[in-house]
Amino acid sequence: MFATILHAPHDVRYEHLPDPQILKPTDAILQLAATCICGSDLWPYRGLQPVERPQPMGHEYCGTVVAVGADVRTVKPGQFVVGSFCISDNTCPHCAYGFHSSCTQGEFMSGAQAPFARVPLADGTLVATAEMPSPDQVVDLLAVSDVLGTGWYAAHAAGVKPGAVVLVVGDGAVGLMGVLAAKQLGAERILIMSRHASRQKLALEYGATDIVATRGDEGIARVLDLTRGIGADSVLECVGTQESFAQALACCRPGGGIGYVGVPHGVTLDARQLFFGQRRMLGGPAPVRRFLPDLMQRVLDGKIHPGKVFDLELPIARVAEGYAAMDAREAIKVLLRVAA
Ligand SMILES: [Zn+2]
């Protein structure tokens, strides 16, 4: 088959690779229905994360099981499944506590920007649908695999409750999913920091009530102004820079919660500021597996359409164009169509 390989910064190629094989009795092989490019793929693409050797890309996936190892019990060939970008056994103490992204057997999924992919620990990682989803549902289910699961976790980690005032820092795909999540969890007001018209439009569609188009001290002042000087009950930090963390901390009310899901790059925090600020913080790679059954059901019931976040669709052979478009911020998130 052909698959997506990152050779060096700005050098991504769709090239020949051996077909994935069952390597362990707990593996499954999927034929992917569609795949996509993640904001986090841009860190190595931009050279902000080292690329030491050619790297198979892609960790968001859904599709049909075509083969399973001898020990796999909960999924079988022919079933449509969705998995998390974090591989997990779903049985260890951390999984049992809901933190599948800290699974003792965990690893990160890779190689999913391809027509076929190997998923380790299939029993613990994959969730099957009862029936074959429609093409529209496939796009929504693909978003569940990472981007929605991550936005959802941000909202959970920030403690979003019915009636809450929520601030979302970041208008990338995860931030937009954070808006969707906050709305589903009953937030009354949802503010989002955004300076891009197309992203603002989608944020409003997903339930945002206020757009804050300024940054830095001005942005902080605007959020405080909009919240009667109190700050937000819950803040979703969906970027991972020093500026976005400063924004999140300054805009969260004392006793409020910050859920941070942007992978921090070059961020340092002041312990005294945290001490006197009295804000709860929980973050990290999202334990998407915990939320998968609920989120898949919401999609299948037609309650949510996270797939609207894909604003550019390309055949997978043109994956390099997709990276370039996301890098240039010409696309929020790129859907890659896999030829059958
Ligand atoms: Zn585990």
The Cα 253–Cα 76 span in angstroms is 48
Least confident of 47-51, 84-88, 264-268: 47-51
Three-state secondary-structure class, residue 143: helix
For the ranges 38-47, 208-217, 287-296, the lowest mean pLDDT is seen at 38-47
pLDDT score at 179 = 98
As a whole number of angstroms, the distance between CA 185 and CA 31 comes to 33
Indicate the domain borders of the chain: 2-132+310-337, 151-283
Q: How far is the CA of 85 from the centre of ligand 1 (A)?
A: 14
pLDDT tens for residues 194-239? 999 999 999 999 999 999 999 999 999 999 999 999 999 999 999 9
Is the CA virtual torsion 136, 138, 144, 148 positive or negative?
Answer: negative
**∠ CA 204-210-215 to the nearest 5 degrees?**
110
Instruction: Evaluate if residue 316 carries a pLDDT over 70.
Output: yes
* Cα–Cα nearest to 94, from 289, 324, 257: 289
Q: What is the pLDDT of residue 172?
A: 95
Q: How far is the CA of 105 from the centre of ligand 1 (A)?
A: 6
Distance 88 CA to ligand 1 centre (A): 5
Fold category of 151-283 in CATH: Rossmann fold (3.40.50)
Question: CA Rg, the chain, in Å?
Answer: 20
How far away, in angstroms, is 121 Cα from ligand 1 center? Answer: 10
**Superfamily of domain 2-132+310-337, CATH level 4:** Medium-chain alcohol dehydrogenases, catalytic domain (3.90.180.10)
What's the CA-to-centroid distance between 170 and ligand 1, angstroms? Answer: 30
Distance separating alpha carbons of residues 57 and 160, to the nearest angstrom: 33
Distance 50 CA to ligand 1 centre (A): 28
**How high is the mean pLDDT of the chain?**
96
Q: Is the per-residue pLDDT at 45 higher than 60?
A: yes
The reported pLDDT for the residue numbered 333 is: 96
Q: What is the pLDDT of residue 258?
A: 98
Distance from the CA of 124 to the center of ligand 1, in angstroms? 8
Q: What are phi and psi of 306, to 5 degrees?
A: -65, -20
* Separation of CA 34 and ligand 1 centre (Å): 27
Could you tell me the two tokens for 77? 């060939």
Torsion, CA 23, CA 118, CA 98, CA 307, rounded to 10 = 180
**CB neighbourhood size of 38 (10 A):** 24
Give residue 340's pLDDT band: very low, low, confident or very high (50, 70, 90). Answer: low
Q: How far is the CA of 109 from the centre of ligand 1 (A)?
A: 14
pLDDT above 60 (res 309): yes
106 pLDDT more than 70: yes
**Percentage of the chain with pLDDT > 90?**
96
pLDDT reported for residue 17: 94
CA 261 to ligand 1 center in whole angstroms: 20
pLDDT given for residue 49 in this prediction: 84
